[in-house]
Amino acid sequence: MKVTFAALSLLSTALAVSPTPKGIDVSSYQGNVAWSTVKSGGAQFAYIKATEGISNTNAYFSQQYTGASNAGLIRGSYHFAQPASSSGAAQAKYFIAHGGGWSADGKTLPGALDIEYNPSGATCYGLSQSAMVSWIKDFSDTYHTSTGRYPVIYTTTDWWTTCTGNSGAFGATNPLWIARYSSSVGILPNGWPYHYFWQYADTGAFPGSQDVWNGDTAGLFRFAKGG
């Protein structure tokens, strides 16, 4: 099909004025996802859990990651942090080796570090606030050295304040994915003047948790490409 300059201009305009893109994040709990249904329902992006710690992987990762891509969604991977079990660098390397990489192909989101409440122990994994900041930096720097992108940080303002002392050390480098199940994102953690992604509900029209990109479709594509 021949694409004219006029057609490209119309496409560019359409992308620029697209409404705020919706997305989801999923893990093994969702099993095999019907991605064509997710796409037809209006979702444009997805984050898929790849790893946890240095020994756990998502058994459904291939179906979820490849399926999202085949359906035409922009997709990326996330790592659930376990700071008490091993270093940030070790977990970043494990993540990258098991689906957490990034490439500037326009359809791959940078990897995300899911750093939040400990589901099975002390809220801050037994680390002091300064030790937690160091752990996150270790993960972030290792990921950046390997991929050329800083990982997105997924967290809540409450956890971040409690466990890092509300550190402002990452706002200039790491995109923020804020989790808050409310009508607005609320107060953001220190150092971030704005968020990139907002997880606003753990259930909804799509499988998994419900997310939204803070911008338009054109901006989402630029972010995926590294802009």
Structural domain boundaries of the chain?
20-225
What lies within 8 Å, CB to CB, of 119 at 6+ separation is none
pLDDT in tens, 45-64: 999 999 999 999 999 999 99
Question: What is the structure's pLDDT at 227?
Answer: 85
Catalytic pick among 116, 138, 141, 158: 116
- Cβ-count burial 154-181 (b if 16+ within 10 Å, e if not): bbbbbbbbebbeebeebbeebbbbbbbe
Residue 32 confidence (pLDDT) above 80: yes
Question: What is the structure's pLDDT at 16?
Answer: 39
Residue 185 confidence (pLDDT) above 90: yes
Catalytic pick among 52, 105, 114, 216: 114
The rounded distance, in Å, linking the Cα atoms of 227 and 219 is 9
DSSP bridge pairs for 23:
45, 211
List helix spans (H) across 32-118.
35-40, 61-70, 88-97
Is 105 an active-site residue? Answer: no
DSSP bridge pairs for 53:
none
First to last CA, the chain: 29
pLDDT in tens, 5-23: 333 333 333 333 347 999 9
Question: What is the structure's pLDDT at 17?
Answer: 38
Question: What is the structure's pLDDT at 157?
Answer: 98
Three-state secondary structure call for residue 111: coil
Closest CA to 197 of 180, 181, 176: 176
The rounded distance, in Å, linking the Cα atoms of 92 and 15 is 33
Q: How many percent of the chain have pLDDT more than 90? A: 91
Give pTM, 2 decimals.
Answer: 0.91
Q: So what's the architecture of 20-225 in CATH? A: Alpha-Beta Barrel (3.20)
Average pLDDT, the chain: 93
Question: What is the structure's pLDDT at 113?
Answer: 99
Closest CA to 38 of 22, 14, 61, 52: 22
Would you place residue 143 in the very low, low, confident or very high pLDDT band (cuts 50, 70, 90)? very high
The rounded distance, in Å, linking the Cα atoms of 227 and 221 is 8
158, two tokens: 């409450």
Is 138 an active-site residue? Answer: no
Is 114 an active-site residue? Answer: yes
Would you place residue 74 in the very low, low, confident or very high pLDDT band (cuts 50, 70, 90)? very high
106, two tokens: 């326009």
Would you place residue 213 in the very low, low, confident or very high pLDDT band (cuts 50, 70, 90)? very high
Residue 224 confidence (pLDDT) above 70: yes
